Amino acid sequence: MRIIPGINVQNTEELLMRLKQVDDIYKAFPEDEPWVEIDVADGGFTRGYTTWRNVNDLKLFTREEKPFQIAMHVMMNQPEDVVEMWAAADIKRFIFHLETTASVEMITSICQTKGIDAMIALAPPTTAQHAIQYLKLADSVQVLAVSPGVSGQQFQEEVLEKIKFLRLQFPNMVIEVDGGMNPETAKKCLEAGASQIVATSYIFKADDPIRAYAELREIGRLGN
C-alpha cells in the first residue's frame, strides 16, 4: 500500500515549505515512487473553508522544485471548469468529487485526452452503490474518510465498509483513502482493500515528518 503525503495549505509560502518537506521525505526513501497530493478548495463545496489554489505557482516551479507526481484533489463545485487549467500545470492525477458535478464523462474524457489519471472522490455520505456506474468511467477512486475541507479531522470508521465493497466490485482498481490517517487507521484501510492512503496532518504536524512517513510506510509494506 502506497503512502502519499498530502498538502492542505493557505498560501504559496506554505506550499513551498510543504513541497520541500516532501522532497526531504523522498530523499530519505529514494526507492519510493514520489507522489504528492495537493488539496484545493474555494469554499463552495467545503462550507467556507478555502485553500491555496493558484495554478500559476505550479506552472512556475522548475522540475527541480517539483520532482514528484502531482495529484490535485479539487474540492470545488463544477470541477469541469478547472480540469484543463490544472492539466496544463503538469499534474498526473485530477481528483474530483462525484457530489460536485453532472459532467463526469466530460471530465474523464478530458483527463484521458491530456494523459492524466481521472480519480473520482466520494465524500462519506455518498454510497459506493450510487457511485458504481460513474466509477466505470474513471481510472481510480478516492474514499474520503472525513468531511471535505480542513485537514486534521477524525477518521470515520464507516468508510471501511465502502472500501470493502469497492474492492469486491473493482478488484484491480486503485482505491485511495484520504483523511484521518495514522498507523491504526492506515492498517484498517489496508485490511479493507485500500491501494494507497493520503496522510497530511499525521506527517506534517509531527515533530519529525520523515519518521511519521516511515511509520505509515511500515504499515503499507504489510500489504506488499
Active-site entry in 23, 24, 32, 39: 39
**Is 90 an active-site residue?**
no
**Is 178 an active-site residue?**
yes
Long-range contacts of 97-103 (CB under 8 A, 24+ apart): 97/45, 97/121, 97/122, 97/123, 97/144, 97/148, 98/122, 98/126, 98/130, 98/131, 98/134, 99/45, 99/123, 99/126, 100/45, 100/75, 100/76, 101/77, 103/78
Active-site entry in 90, 139, 178, 208: 178
Known catalytic residues are 39, 178
